Amino acid sequence: MSAKALTLYPEARRARARLVVLGCLVIGLLGVSLFLGRYPGPYWTPLRALREDPLALRLILNLRLPRILSAVVVGMTLSAAGAVFQMVFRNPLVDSGFLGVSAGASFGASLAIVALGGRALTIQLCAALFGLLGLGASYLLGRRIRYGDWVLRLVLAGIAVSALYSSGTSVLKYTADPLRQLPDITFWLLGGLWAITWPDLMQVLLVAAPCLALLYLLRWRLNLLSMRDETAFSLGVAAGRERLVVLLAAVAASAAVVSKAGLIGWVGLIVPHIARRWLGADAQRALPGAMLLGALFVLACDNVARTLLSGEIPLGILTSFVGAALFMAIMMRREWQVRR
Amino acid sequence: MRQPMHRHVIALICLFVVIALALSGCQPVAAPTAKPAAEPPTETAAPPAAPVEPTPTEAPAALMVLDKTFTLADLEALEQASATVDGADYRGVGLLAVLEAAGVAASDVALVASDGYAANVTVADITDECLLAYAEGGGLDAVMPGMSKGSWVRGVVEIREGKPAAAEAEPPVATEAGDEPLGGPVSLVDAAGRTVELDSLPRRIVVVGRGPHMSLHLLYMFPEGRERLVGTESRSAAPSNFLPFVDARFEQVPTLDANPNVEQIAALAPDLVIMKGIVVDKTAEALAQIDIPVLHVGLETVDQFFTDLANVGAVLGNTDRADAIAAFYRSRLDRLAERTATVSDDEKPRVLLLEYSDRGGEVAVQVPAKTWMQTVEVETAGGYPVWLDSAAPTDGWTVVNLEQIARWDADMVFVVVWYTLDPQEVIEGLKADPQWAALRAVQDGHIYAFPQDIFGWDQPEPRWILGMNWLATHIHPELFDDVDMNAEVMAYFSELYGMDPAVIERDILPTVRMDVR
Amino acid sequence: MNATLSNATPLLAVQPYAAELSATEPAVALREVTFRYGPGEPPALDGVSAEVRAGSITAVLGPNGSGKSTLLHVLLGLLPPEWGEVRLFGRPLSAHSRRESSRLVGLVPQNEHVTFDLSVFEYALLGRAPYLDLLEMPGPDDRACAQRALDATGIAALARRSVPALSGGERQLATVARALAQEPRVLLLDEPTSHLDLANVRRILGVLRSLRADGRTIVLTTHDPNAAAAIADDVLLMRGGQVIAAGPTGSVMDSERLSATYGVTVEVVEVRGRPLVLSHDLDGAPDRGA
């Protein structure tokens, strides 16, 4: 037994192999997605168009490429953030939509548009700030609720905080200048990647890339952060500080993504679950797995959103549809109690 | 132990990948017919009037080569050819024969499909075997044995003189060099404050966005606009109710489903996209990324309208026509201004304009936004819009209740009736309703349905001038008793749209409801 | 379910600074430690002074609320005492950095709740955290150590099982394994035997004995005096935040002291050279068990 443990044990080896498979799938889907679209005809852009049609080339480079890369970034960020929230709050049932982060980010962005000038940087900062406030409010409120166990309390608190933020956003919509500010807000709330350009992607990456890198580097540490405080302390972990860092990274990245892509839900809830089931609960593998799986999921949904019909299907609708269906499937399995 | 769930996950992932691969295995889609993306529009408006058949056209042109039009009969009269490629037999008219008959002298031609896709072909490479095959459904498919598959264009509708493929830095494929540029360059500032710069006038114009029919009605006042429209978006108000009367070719214009993808718009290969709005749309930004210019039109206020008019005239290269149209509007506006100048603010009747709708079975009565054309119409016609009293800032129609209406105590009430309803019935119903009957305006008999023909006269589309005039005749009848609305309607459609009086009488006048009270 | 313990468990890895640690000083020493949970509250620990010999097992006995868990948390460094001093191997606790003290002292909490399906091996691996930098991942050495910890607690067969799916006793052993992976010199256990059945209690106690044989110092709290009697070298009796008595098991555990500690009449008899605690019910009839 002891000699075996010196190399990677079977589960870890298997999980690592699966990670490689996921990585290849992501790259493969990215390649295929370059040729999916509605130009010059529905669904498939033939290779010859690249050689002969300058508009096709420009379209692929300036519209499709940033868009599919954004889909990948969105998927990675939302899944990573969801995984982080689930581990830090020891609650397999949360994602940023349930914790007041998305609603807070929407409110912050609307506030920036209505009252603070609406420049891209301001929007991102306000989105991140209010997302963080939403998270804090959900956590504090969850500790004070007197009903149910911790899992339930946090979800309830998050829903309440999200609802508050939503009504705040509605008030802002109501007072917004109807001709100039309101369309911005509305677009924002609908979400979707339909007009992502390279500058948009760069702005998102500026925040999301370092945050995701940080989370990736801290992936083993996340296991520790999901322990109780006394255990974490006994292991020499400054739990409070490290949790704060990790949460900040998750919220900042989520806010950056939400500020460009609008509200996209369910990804952060479902993908970490599936990643854990398929790759083991150890965050060292489950986190990268969630990121890759999330990238696949959102990229596939976005491909459908922009290709299936001649009109755009909002991305949030697709992710919710598939995500909710998967969620129900997972919840109804007998093993739910045991295998989280 | 873990199998059930992880099998499902694998299955799902495989499903995604399989779908992606299956789509990738599809053959390139055949060039679509005249309406490539015309799945049934998601919202269709029931025409308020009985639809009138547009006048029948002559035998359809099958192919245009340079300036010459060939029907199928013409093509069949030329030298036919046949070829067998990969086991498939093709029969059709020889391509060289067509080129000769049309007098094509260039060294390169472009085969253009109806969706805008074009393939360059060097004439020297064309053999006797190359032909335009007669396809099912009446189209023409280019069959080019021995040449690259890229030149096998399906659904060829036009042959132009083209540049050799090696030339770089071309504008979108559909506009080939060899056509004389229409004119230009043009530089102007659109309604969203953006500077639009065009090197040459656009040949292919697409109208999308909110309320496309408003932009279309403006565009169709110009004969160039009618020719150069190559695509539009279908939204709830169906312009096909009106524009075919102006120009029957409108029926052939491809209609995209609502909220089209940027790529879908690009597939029409437009030189210019027109969108209504004074905020730069995200779609416009995306189109800018692929160098497709966008012209924003506002249309909401009188000043905006004139600017939009001038801009549209500039991009179509017909500023004279724009001036003429502007003069038409100005003469009416001047008349309104002169005569209402004599009325002091206190004397202005209090006017209430409502939209009455029963969408989803719920009756709702709403007032327009302060910045909208409806408000402008009332003001210009010399009335005081009572809804300006309320401080609520909103972005659209605001629901009001009867209490508020009673408080406003308007002298006159004009009801814009939702297009599925009959104005007469609605007015009768309101007058019969005891709560409404208690209103002073109703008791004095000053409740009217807002006039309309196929489209209402209250919206920010070019008909607003009719609405304004009509309002003036009702708000200040003594000042405008010489205005004959029937004549105004005639003048509007004949001068602005070039419609024959007989056509107007047959198709438009029956739909006009001006005297519902 | 046999307590088959591997006798080939290697000795503790020698810490780099272990040389500085005194060999003669007690492993843990408290001097007049006082701690309150809140400003107006009565002290949870009131002037507690005690010493724990290196390489021994010390049991802390007392009724609920006597400050046993608080004592452990203070020893751990989690709760800073308001007054007094804690020393580890002669050096004040405050002089150790977090990393150092976590390499010295490990904690097996009372009921550790693992939310996610970590395997027992991965869970034990968490104990290597004090030896890893912030961005470092566990390496082969760490995995070997975790495996040794599993062997030492006799649950190597459970290595692939998921922690939340374990039974109470197995989970307790897994937690011990996790603490062992820290390679601590001092192991603190908070009520390790409550909620366990007889077989599991014996298993845990057997593991603790083998750990003592390794030279580790063990401090455990328990409300079962018989468990303490079975295994402890020294006993600390606490009541109301104060140490009533401290010393070797045989001398400290007598009837008067225990009755004073628990506030009910108990009788201590000697069976096979070790004390056995009997508690009486109201009508005076003797009653076995604790």
Q: How many CA atoms lie within 13 A of A204 on its CB side?
A: 28
B149 contacts A33? CB cut-off 8 A: no
Picking from B301, B317, B333, the residue at the C-terminal end of a domain is: B317
At residue A20, the pLDDT reads 94
> Higher pLDDT residue, B514 or C128?
C128
Is B227 in the same domain as B306?
yes
A143-193, pLDDT tens digit by residue? 888 777 776 787 888 899 999 998 998 888 777 765 556 666 666 666 678
Tell whether C60 lies on the interface with A, counting CB pairs under 8 A. no
At residue A314, the pLDDT reads 81
Is B351 in the same domain as B304?
no
Rounded CA Rg of chain B: 28
Banded model confidence at residue C241, pLDDT cuts 50, 70, 90: confident
At residue B238, the pLDDT reads 60
Does residue B56 surpass a pLDDT of 50?
no
Does residue B433 surpass a pLDDT of 60?
yes
Question: What would the mean pLDDT of A300-324 be, rounded to a whole number?
Answer: 86
- Please provide residue A94's backbone torsions phi and psi, each rounded to the nearest 5 degrees: -120, 155
> Which residue of chain C has the CA closest to A339?
C117
At residue B293, the pLDDT reads 92
A68-77, pLDDT tens digit by residue? 999 999 999 9
Inside any domain, residue B100: yes
Neighbours of B76 (CB within 10 A): 13
Residue A234 in tokens = 């006994």
Which of C121, C143, C165 lies nearest to residue A6, judging by beta carbons?
Answer: C143
At residue B346, the pLDDT reads 84
Tell whether A230 lies on the interface with C, counting CB pairs under 8 A. yes
B118-144, pLDDT tens digit by residue? 777 878 878 888 888 887 666 788 888
Q: Which chains touch C (3 or more CB pairs under 8 A)?
A: A
Banded model confidence at residue B21, pLDDT cuts 50, 70, 90: low
- Please provide residue B88's backbone torsions phi and psi, each rounded to the nearest 5 degrees: -105, 140
Selected residues 177-216 of chain C with any CB under 8 Å from a CB in chain A? 179, 182
**Identity (one letter) of the amino acid at A99?**
L
At residue B345, the pLDDT reads 83
At residue B159, the pLDDT reads 85
- Report whether B508 contacts B491 (CB < 8 A): no
Inside any domain, residue C8: no
Inside any domain, residue C235: yes
At residue B3, the pLDDT reads 43
Is B306 in the same domain as B361?
no
The contacts found for A198-202 with CB under 8 angstroms, 24 or more apart, are: A198/A62, A198/A66, A198/B289, A200/A66, A200/A70, A200/A260, A201/A66, A201/A69, A201/A70, A201/A73
The contacts found for C258-261 with CB under 8 angstroms, 24 or more apart, are: C258/C61, C258/C225, C261/C61, C261/C62, C261/C63, C261/C66, C261/C237
Is B74 in the same domain as B219?
no
Does residue B401 surpass a pLDDT of 90?
no
At residue B148, the pLDDT reads 65
CATH code of the domain containing B101: 3.90.420.10
As a whole number of angstroms, the distance between CA B191 and CA B214 comes to: 14
A312 contacts B259? CB cut-off 8 A: yes
- Report whether B408 contacts B352 (CB < 8 A): yes
Inside any domain, residue B171: no
**C88, C110, C117: best mutation site toward chain A, by most A Cβ within 10 Å?**
C117
At residue C219, the pLDDT reads 94
As a whole number of angstroms, the distance between CA B131 and CA A64 comes to: 36
As a whole number of angstroms, the distance between CA B434 and CA B431 comes to: 8
> Which residue of chain A has the CA closest to C107?
A234
CA B11-A308-B149 angle, to 5 degrees, is 100
B161-206, pLDDT tens digit by residue? 765 444 333 334 444 443 556 676 888 999 888 899 888 888 899 9
ipTM reported for the complex surpasses 0.90: no
Q: Which chains touch A (3 or more CB pairs under 8 A)?
A: B, C
C154-179, pLDDT tens digit by residue? 899 988 899 999 988 889 999 999 99
Does residue A129 surpass a pLDDT of 60?
yes
At residue B11, the pLDDT reads 67
With a pLDDT cut of 70, the percent of chain C lying above it is 88
As a whole number of angstroms, the distance between CA A322 and CA B147 comes to: 46
DSSP state of A286: H
- Worst-scoring range by mean pLDDT, A289-303, B392-406, C64-78? B392-406
Is B362 in the same domain as B484?
yes
Is B295 in the same domain as B402?
no
At residue A183, the pLDDT reads 63
- Report whether A209 contacts A54 (CB < 8 A): no
At residue B166, the pLDDT reads 41
Residue B78 in tokens = 């030329």
Number of domains in chain B: 3
Is B349 in the same domain as B498?
yes
DSSP one-letter string for B390-439: S----SS-EE--HHHHHHH--SEEEEEEPTTS-HHHHHHHHHHSHHHHTS
- Please provide residue B66's backbone torsions phi and psi, each rounded to the nearest 5 degrees: 50, -115
C7-45, pLDDT tens digit by residue? 333 334 444 444 455 567 788 888 889 898 888 888 888
Tell me, letter by letter, the H, E, C secondary structure of C110-176: CCCCCCCCCEHHHHHHHHHHHHCCCCCCCCHHHHHHHHHHHHHHCCHHHCCCEHHHCCHHHHHHHHH
Banded model confidence at residue C129, pLDDT cuts 50, 70, 90: very high
Neighbours of C153 (CB within 10 A): 31
Label residues A26-52 b or e (16+ Cβ within 10 Å = b): beebbebbebbbbbbbbbbbbeebeeb
- Assign B315 to helix, strand or coil: helix
Number of domains in chain C: 1
Query: What are the angstrom distances between the C-alpha of B18 and each of A30, A289, B5?
Result: 14, 21, 20
CA distance C150 to chain A (A): 10
- Worst-scoring range by mean pLDDT, A45-54, A137-146, C257-266? A45-54
- Please provide residue A254's backbone torsions phi and psi, each rounded to the nearest 5 degrees: -60, -45
Banded model confidence at residue A287, pLDDT cuts 50, 70, 90: very high
At residue A249, the pLDDT reads 92
Is B474 in the same domain as B350?
yes
Place of tokens 């005690």: C50
**A-chain residues near B4 (CB < 8 A):** 333, 335
CB contact set of A106 (below 8 Å; sequence gap of 6+): A127, A165, A166, A169, A188, A189, A258, A263
Tell whether A122 lies on the interface with C, counting CB pairs under 8 A. no
CATH code of the domain containing C225: 3.40.50.300
Question: What would the mean pLDDT of A91-100 be, rounded to a whole number?
Answer: 78
Inside any domain, residue B44: no
At residue A337, the pLDDT reads 46
Inside any domain, residue C28: yes
As a whole number of angstroms, the distance between CA B460 and CA B377 comes to: 10
Q: What is the mean pLDDT of chain A?
A: 84
A235 contacts C127? CB cut-off 8 A: yes
Place of tokens 């280019």: B142
DSSP one-letter string for C198-234: HHHHHHHHHHHHHHHHTT-EEEEEES-HHHHHHH-SE
Does residue A3 surpass a pLDDT of 60?
no
Residue B199 in tokens = 């090197």
Does residue B49 surpass a pLDDT of 50?
no
B222-269, pLDDT tens digit by residue? 988 888 898 888 766 565 678 888 888 888 888 887 778 888 888 888
CB contact set of B106 (below 8 Å; sequence gap of 6+): B123, B161, B162, B178
Inside any domain, residue B381: yes
Inside any domain, residue B55: no
With a pLDDT cut of 70, the percent of chain A lying above it is 89
Query: What are the angstrom distances between the C-alpha of B497 and each of B225, B244, B245, B500, C104?
Result: 11, 12, 10, 9, 92
Banded model confidence at residue C259, pLDDT cuts 50, 70, 90: confident
Of B26, B254, B29, B31, the closest CA to residue B132 belongs to B31
Question: What would the mean pLDDT of A17-27 be, rounded to a whole number?
Answer: 94
Does residue B315 surpass a pLDDT of 80?
yes
CATH code of the domain containing B494: 3.40.50.1980
Is B398 in the same domain as B482?
yes
Inside any domain, residue B224: yes
| Rounded (to 5) percent helix, strand, coil in chain C | 35, 25, 40
DSSP state of C21: S
* DSSP bridge pairs for B417: B356
Which domains are delineated in chain A? 60-337 (1.10.3470.10)
CA C153-C158-C163 angle, to 5 degrees, is 95
> Higher pLDDT residue, B179 or C188?
C188
- Report whether B404 contacts B390 (CB < 8 A): yes
- Please provide residue B196's backbone torsions phi and psi, each rounded to the nearest 5 degrees: -110, 125
Is B375 in the same domain as B235?
no
Query: What are the angstrom distances between the C-alpha of A240 and each of B29, C116, C135?
Result: 58, 20, 17
Banded model confidence at residue A208, pLDDT cuts 50, 70, 90: very high
pTM to 2 decimals? 0.73
Inside any domain, residue C122: no
- The domain of B256 spans 186-317
C72-126, pLDDT tens digit by residue? 999 988 888 888 999 988 888 888 888 889 999 999 998 888 888 899 999 999 9
At residue C10, the pLDDT reads 38
Which of A64, A178, A312 lies nearest to residue B394, judging by beta carbons?
Answer: A178
Is B450 in the same domain as B349?
yes
- Please provide residue B92's backbone torsions phi and psi, each rounded to the nearest 5 degrees: -175, -165
Question: What would the mean pLDDT of A264-275 be, rounded to a whole number?
Answer: 88
Inside any domain, residue C263: yes
Inside any domain, residue B37: no
- The domain of C189 spans 16-112+185-279
> Higher pLDDT residue, B314 or B260?
B314
Which of C112, C117, C159 lies nearest to residue A281, judging by beta carbons?
Answer: C117
Selected residues 189-228 of chain A with any CB under 8 Å from a CB in chain C? 217-218, 220-221, 223-224, 226-228
- Assign B354 to helix, strand or coil: strand
> Which residue of chain C has the CA closest to A277?
C117
At residue B168, the pLDDT reads 36
Selected residues 104-163 of chain A with any CB under 8 Å from a CB in chain B? none
Is B490 in the same domain as B361?
yes
Inside any domain, residue B336: no
Entry field: residues in chain A: 340
Q: What is the mean pLDDT of chain B?
A: 78
Inside any domain, residue C83: yes
